[in-house]
Structures are given as C-alpha cells and as structure tokens.
Amino acid sequence: MLSKNIVKSSSLVMFILSPTAFVFAQDESPTIKVKVQEEQEKTGQPTIPVERKKATPKTETTVKGDELQIRSGAGGVNVFKAIELTPSVNVQTDDAYGLGGGSIRIRGFDYTQIGLTIDDMPLNDSGNYALYPHEYADVENLESITVERGAVSKKSPFYVEVGGAIRIRTKPPKNRFSIELFPRYGTHNFQKYFGRIDTGIIGNTGVKAFLSYSRTSADKWKGPGKFPEYRDHFTAGISWSYNRLFAEVYFDSNAQLNYFYRGLSYAQALDLDTYKKFDYNQDLIPKAPANVNVNYYKFYKNPYLNRQLRANIEFYITDSIKFTFKPYFWKGRGNGTSATVSSNKIFYRESNNYTDRPGFIADLSFNLPYNSNINLGYWYERANLRQWQPSFSVTVNNDGTYNLSFGGYNYIQKTITTTNSIYLFSETKNLMDRFDLNLGFRYTNLKRDYTSYSIPKGVTIPYYPEDDVYDDPKLVKDNNLSYEKTYRKLLPNFGIGFKVLDGVYGYFAYARNFRVPQNSAAGFTFSLPKNVTAQYIADQLKPEEADSFDLGIRYDKGNFYIAPSVYYVNYKNRLVRVADPTDPSLTYLRNVGKVEAKGFELEIGAVPIKAMSVYASFSYNTAKFKEDYINDGKNNIYIKDKEIPDTPKYMFKVGA
C-alpha cells in the first residue's frame, strides 16, 4: 500500500453531537442449538471497560463491545483511537476524528514494527509494513480489539511484530433478527451514516448473516478539500454451524478519497500562532510562479480501494482433535499524488500501489489431559506488490484549469514476498489449581523477490492508467537495483501464571519477536554508487530482533480491577536509513545497533456506581539508543542514550 505521509499535529478539541441509535429486534428467540459467539452472557459481575484477564500469563489489554465505539470517538472508523487509552500506547492522528489514519507507538516501537490482524488475517503493508487504521473496518462492526505488549503469541501470522501486536475481531452475525441505524454529526461538516441488518438464525439451517454499509465525509479542519471527500465502507458476514463443523466468512470493502494536509517545517512548527492554518492553496492561479501553483490542493490527494475476504472453518475430527483452516485474500488499489517543481515547471506524480495478497493458516489442535492443548500450525502467504510512479507536466490554463502531459515513469517496481511459517504452541490451564503455562515456537522462512524495471535509452512506453505497464515488453529488469533475499528465523515464547489468592494473579512472560527489512521501495532502489548493488546491500541486512520480558500482577475483585506490570526489551539490529559515506546524497537501510526499552505500566478499571464505569492507565517508558552515532549525510549525529522519538516518558489517561 501507499507510503502515506502523516502530518503530526495536535488534535483539535471538537464538540461532537452524540450519535443516536435506532435498533429494531425480533422478539422471538431461536430454539435451534448453534455455536453461540455473542458475548452477552450475564456473569453477575459489574461491567468494567476492559476484559478481565483472569488466566492470561502475558501483558495484554482487550477492549470490547460498546466501549470500542465510545473510545473511537465520533468518527467510528479508526481502530487506533479505540485503543489509545491503553498503557504505553501513543496515538497521533491528522484530525480529531481519526478519518485519515494516523500513527501509533507501543513502548517506543512505531507502527511499522507492530503486527496487526483482523480475524487472524495480517494487515500490515507487505512492503513497508505501514498500517492504515481508517480503512479496515467500521468500529460498530467490531467485537473486540486486543493489544499485546511485549510477548506475542507464536500462532500469530507476522514477520513485523518486533514491538507487539494488535488483534481485531469482527462482531459475528447475531442469533436474532435486528436492524441498527447510527447517524453521527459533528464540527467541520462531519457526517457518518451507518446501518446494519442481521438475519438472525434462518429457519433450521443454522445459518445467520449480516450486511452493513456506512458513508462518511468531513471538511479538513484547515485548508481546502475534504477529509475524506467520501468513505464508503461495506461489510458482510455469514456463519454456519452444523454438528462438528463451523464456518464463518467476512468481506470488507473500503473506498475512500482524502486530500492531504500540508506539513510544516521545523521553523513553522515553532510558530503555530502564525502557521496553525497553513495548508495547500485553494486556487490554481494562471500566470502565477510555478512555486505557487505547485501547492494547489488538488495535486495532493489519496484515493484508495481496499478489499478483504477472510474465512474461518473449524472441524472437529474427534472430540479432542480440531482442524482449523483460515484462508484470506486482500486486494488493494490506489495511489497518492503530489507535485514538484523543476526548471520552473510543475510536474504532477501518481505514486501507484497495487496489492494482491492471498494466504491461509492451517491449525491442528489436540486437547490433552490436565486442561492442556497443543497447536501445530502452518501459515502461507504470497504478496504481490506493484509500485510505479508516472510523471506529468502541468500546463495551467487562463481559466484556472490545467492539462496534464505524460512525461514518463520515475520508477516501476514489483515485490513478491512469499512466507512459509510453522508453529508449535502448547498451553496448560489451572495446573494444580494454581498454574497456567504456555510455550511456543515459530519458524519463519520468508523470501523476498524485489524487481526494479528500467526503460532502455531511446525507448518510450505509453501511459497505462492501471498496472498494465508490467506487461509492456519494452520493460527491462535493472539487475543493479533488484535483489532476492531469504530470511529464516526461529522465535520462542514462554509464559507462566500463578494464582496467588482468589482474585490475585501473577505472571511472567518472555518472547523473541522480529521484523524483516522493508522492501525499500522508497529508499536505496532509486540510485546507488556504481560499485554497489541492491543485492549487496540486502545481503548485509539482518532482521530486527527484540527479546521482551514482562512481569505483572492482576487484582480483580467485583467492581475493581488493577493490573500493574514492568517490562524490559533488548532490541538489536535496528534498521535506519543512513547516508553513504562516499556520497552523502544517497541513503539506504543499515543495521546500526541496539535499543534498550524498559518501563512500568498500570491499568485500572472500576465501577464506582451502577451506571458508571471508569478506566485509567499510567505508563513510564524509556527507550534509548545504545550505539554511538549515525550519519545524516552531512554530520555524525551522536545518539547514544538519546530517547526514541514519539515515546513520552510519562503518560496518564482516563476515560469514563
């Protein structure tokens, strides 16, 4: 997917009209026996804003149900905002609604170092690992979001999770017929209309389904254009339960158009009184200097179509052996546009990004004596990522319109990433009425085939509006800028929990997480010294690794829940872009050294009165470089013992 630039600015505090919900439900309850997935059982305990983790020997937080909608705010589209109260999580968005995505850090690790799944389907970009939290789902359709900080389960389909993981679960079809309508309104002409219809269980078939659709639009809070001009999201789900077989299928489609915000320079950011409304130009002015017209807002937009199809099929071979198959397919189509000036001429560029990403997870689980089970699994994926950038010269007409003339391609690249991963995971619950144990291993073999194409001198190829450019026979593979690389890694995890007293649970967790180098489509592949190849650079790069240790305790008594924990992360082989010592204008990825992170986290949930729940979190985090310096192309920058950016040392958050 696209490398979408995030403009980091303080979110505006906006007054939002509370959404009004209309729900219609069938009175008659189904009598057929099916696999129940709706978590509406009456436990007799007060409802606190997060899931009570009674026997989970690792540090994680799960937000469920209505609490997701409350935390995500009026926008209801951004999964990051739904979890931003979680300890050690730092979320920044372009706008207060979160309509344009945003960034997230967990314990100092950025969003390209955090794995994310929806119903166990991986969602990180297969090239640069970026996340686009406004594209995946409507929050109204989500059952839960779990944030794993530190130790990540080895059953998870990741090769990026050096900093942790986020797991999203879709709200399944309901057992009863219902219709839900949620209109939302707010400042800056924000509007969202969401509707969902559930069939309930259909007759005696054991089948139930739902359909939902939402339309979202808003004005930018500064400058011209919409953000988004439109966001059309469609979701469908169906499930079926019969005897030993259970199956569910989900489909999401998101079509969206955003106009970018203009970033500030460092000097401008220091003078927000002057530049807080600084943005792109409303008009394309005839006869104006090129450096004025290049900032016309319609040159900076981001249309994208994202479609996900995923399934979960479970079959009990015997009462104690279950086979699970989870196929998926992700299709992405879109671009980000921009403009530049050269020789007093404007050039308009489309940075296209097309993804086709099929894969599956196969899992065989065995229930054993002493509340134990073993999972043996296999994950396969083949991601085909095409990235190319046509360039156009711009002619500004006297009436303020403009014409584009195709001038060639700045780059044409393709990345095939093939993943084969096996895992073994064992878990024992309530051993001797006290202990919970888990132990897992994952072995990953990932092959990356990166091809950069060139056009021979004197040869021209036409403009292709889609990815047909890859079928043009005149394209030639550029061997200097192409590479093949296979990464192999064995990753363990271990956790032990101990029931100290009734309602008091302590645990220790360890895991080794990793991230393979990015495909570098926006880095060293544009140009290299004549005596250096992309293959040489790729061969020097090692995957990032992090050994994470967590120690925590949970106290859970009726209407009060408290979970303090401490952590330590030893992170090595950190990848950053550094300048070539012989040519400072060239930068490319290098392993530059170690990072050490440690901290303390605390989360508290309470129900002080029957109609009110409260959640608060506190975190102390330090994440520091442990190497001496890197080179920015001009100077050596001494970074040892310096803090990782965007990692606040203290964070306190509260919501009710």
The answer to whether 30 touches 175, Cβ cutoff 8 Å, is yes
- Phi, psi (degrees; rounded to nearest 5) at 469: -60, -30
The two three-digit tokens of residue 413, written as one number: 């690249």
Q: Which of 189-193, 294-298, 532-536, 631-635 has the lowest mean pLDDT?
A: 631-635
Q: Which of 132, 131, 139 is nearest to 74 (CA)?
A: 139
Q: Which of 325-334, 597-606, 618-627 has the lowest mean pLDDT?
A: 618-627
Q: Which of 7-21, 86-100, 176-190 has the lowest mean pLDDT?
A: 7-21
323: pLDDT confidence band, cut at 50, 70 and 90?
very high
DSSP string, 176-209: S-EEEEEEEEETTTEEEEEEEEE--SBTTTTEEE
Task: For 428-466, write each residue's pLDDT tens digit.
Answer: 999 998 999 999 999 999 999 999 999 999 899 999 989
User: In this structure, is residue 158 part of a structural domain?
Assistant: yes
* 53 has a pLDDT exceeding 60: yes
Task: For 8-52, write each residue's pLDDT tens digit.
Answer: 333 333 333 333 444 444 443 433 333 333 333 344 455 777 888
Q: Which of 4-8, 148-152, 210-214, 438-442 has the lowest mean pLDDT?
A: 4-8
The answer to whether 537 touches 527, Cβ cutoff 8 Å, is no
470 DSSP assignment: G
Q: How far is CA 377 from the centre of its chain?
A: 23
* 91 has a pLDDT exceeding 50: yes
The answer to whether 414 touches 454, Cβ cutoff 8 Å, is no
User: In this structure, is residue 491 part of a structural domain?
Assistant: yes
User: In this structure, is residue 379 part of a structural domain?
Assistant: yes
580: pLDDT confidence band, cut at 50, 70 and 90?
low
User: In this structure, is residue 8 part of a structural domain?
Assistant: no
As a whole-number percent, the residues of the chain with pLDDT over 70 amount to 88
User: In this structure, is residue 28 part of a structural domain?
Assistant: no
Q: Which of 235, 3, 31, 215 is nearest to 119 (CA)?
A: 235
71: pLDDT confidence band, cut at 50, 70 and 90?
confident
* 200 has a pLDDT exceeding 90: yes
Write the Ramachandran bin of 231: left for phi over 0, alpha for psi from -120 to 50, otherwise beta: beta
pLDDT number for residue 627: 74
As a whole-number percent, the residues of the chain with pLDDT over 90 amount to 69
573 contacts: CB under 8 Å, gap ≥ 6: 542, 543, 544, 545, 591
Which one is predicted more confidently, 569 or 50?
569
pLDDT number for residue 416: 97
CA–CA dist 342, 349 (Å, integer): 13
The two three-digit tokens of residue 268, written as one number: 């401008």
User: In this structure, is residue 190 part of a structural domain?
Assistant: yes
Across the chain, mean pLDDT equals: 88
DSSP string, 54-68: SS--S-EEEEETHHH
The answer to whether 274 touches 281, Cβ cutoff 8 Å, is no
Which one is predicted more confidently, 287 or 468?
468
* 145 has a pLDDT exceeding 60: yes
User: In this structure, is residue 4 part of a structural domain?
Assistant: no
- Interval 276-292 mean pLDDT: 91
The two three-digit tokens of residue 338, written as one number: 């921009």
CA–CA dist 480, 474 (Å, integer): 18
CA atoms within 13 A on the CB side of 105: 18
For the domain that residue 527 is a member of, what is the CATH number?
2.40.170.20
- Phi, psi (degrees; rounded to nearest 5) at 361: -125, 130
Write the Ramachandran bin of 72: left for phi over 0, alpha for psi from -120 to 50, otherwise beta: alpha
The answer to whether 395 touches 402, Cβ cutoff 8 Å, is yes
- Interval 499-505 mean pLDDT: 92
The answer to whether 579 touches 573, Cβ cutoff 8 Å, is no
Evaluate the CA torsion angle 238, 375, 130, 386 in order and state its sign. Answer: negative
Strand partners, 360: 327, 380
Q: Which of 71-80, 270-279, 363-372 has the lowest mean pLDDT?
A: 71-80
* 122 has a pLDDT exceeding 60: yes
pLDDT number for residue 575: 82
Number of domains in the chain: 1
Q: Which of 147, 146, 161 is nearest to 113 (CA)?
A: 161
CA–CA dist 480, 470 (Å, integer): 19
Q: Which of 492, 459, 491, 488 is nearest to 474 (CA)?
A: 459
pLDDT number for residue 24: 45
Q: Which of 161, 162, 81 is nearest to 123 (CA)?
A: 161
- Interval 354-369 mean pLDDT: 97
- Characterize the bridge pairing of strands 583-609 and 612-625: antiparallel
User: In this structure, is residue 601 part of a structural domain?
Assistant: yes
pLDDT number for residue 611: 77
CA–CA dist 612, 617 (Å, integer): 17
pLDDT number for residue 320: 96
Task: For 236-248, write each residue's pLDDT tens digit.
Answer: 999 999 999 999 9
Strand partners, 588: 578
- Interval 265-293 mean pLDDT: 92
* 594 has a pLDDT exceeding 70: yes
Q: Which domain range does residue 290 map to?
A: 16-23+45-655
Task: For 373-432, write each residue's pLDDT tens digit.
Answer: 999 999 999 999 999 999 999 999 988 899 999 999 999 999 999 999 999 999 999 999
pLDDT number for residue 498: 95
* 526 has a pLDDT exceeding 70: no
* 489 has a pLDDT exceeding 80: yes
The answer to whether 207 touches 245, Cβ cutoff 8 Å, is no
How many C-beta neighbours within 10 Å does residue 450 have?
23
- Interval 272-296 mean pLDDT: 92
pLDDT number for residue 7: 37
Task: Please report, for residues 82, 85, 293, 397, 399, the alpha-carbon distance to residue 290 in angstroms, rounded to integers and kept in the order given.
Answer: 42, 45, 5, 13, 16
**Residue type (1 letter), 439:** L
